[in-house]
Structure formats: structure tokens, C-alpha cells
Amino acid sequence: MQSVDDLSEAAKIAYQAFLDMSNSKTAHFNCLQAIESIYESGGVPGAAQNLELEKLLADHDRNVLAFTTALTAVTDSDEKNTLLRLMS
């Protein structure tokens, strides 16, 4: 199986964008879970928690856009298939 090192520079950028997107998704989801726990215990999240959630969502939105843009730059179909296998 090919590794990230075998990819073109464009595909490496797309792979890094995928990792960034995955990390921001996890951070946003974890924040949502923390806020849900507050509600479940009868509380209400504070302004700081809501602002953090908004920031994490904005970060994730930027990362999704960066990933889709970077993936579009990978034009070789074999390399795109390799990249998709590495992401799964």
C-alpha cells in the first residue's frame, strides 16, 4: 500500500487538509457533547461555551472548504484513488 510520502505535493496538501478537517470535526463534536451534558444536568451553558462552539464550527467550516479545494487540485485519478484509500 502506498504511503503519504508517495503522493504528489497537491495530494499531500489534500491529505493534510483532510486531517485538519477530521480534527476540527472531533473538537466541535466534543464541545457539543460537553454542552449537552450541561443541559442534561439541568444547567445552561455560559456565553464562553457558546462562543467556543461557534469558533469551533467556524474552524471546521474553513477546514471543510480547504479540504474540498485541495481535493479538487488532485487531478490524477489514480492518485486521487490512493488518497481516498489513505483517508479511509
Q: How high is the pLDDT of residue 3?
A: 87
Domain containing residue 45:
8-74
Cell 491529505 belongs to 15
What tens digit of pLDDT does each residue of 25-82 get?
Answer: 999 999 999 999 999 999 999 999 999 999 999 999 999 999 999 999 999 999 999 9
Q: What's this model's pTM, rounded to 2 decimal places?
A: 0.90
Is 54 part of a structural domain of the chain? yes
Question: In the block, which residue shows the cell 484513488?
Answer: 81
Is residue 55 one of the residues assigned to a domain? yes
- Is residue 37 one of the residues assigned to a domain? yes
* Assigned C-alpha cell, 15: 491529505
Question: In sequence order, which ranges of the chain are alpha helices (DSSP H)?
Answer: 9-40, 47-72, 77-87
Whether residue 12 is contained in a domain is answered as: yes
Say if 84 falls within a structural domain.
Answer: no
pLDDT tens per residue, range 58-71: 999 999 999 999 99
The structural domain count of the chain equals 1
Q: Using CA atoms, how far apart are residues 1 and 86, in angstroms rounded to an integer?
A: 9
Q: Per the domain annotation, does 3 fall within a domain?
A: no
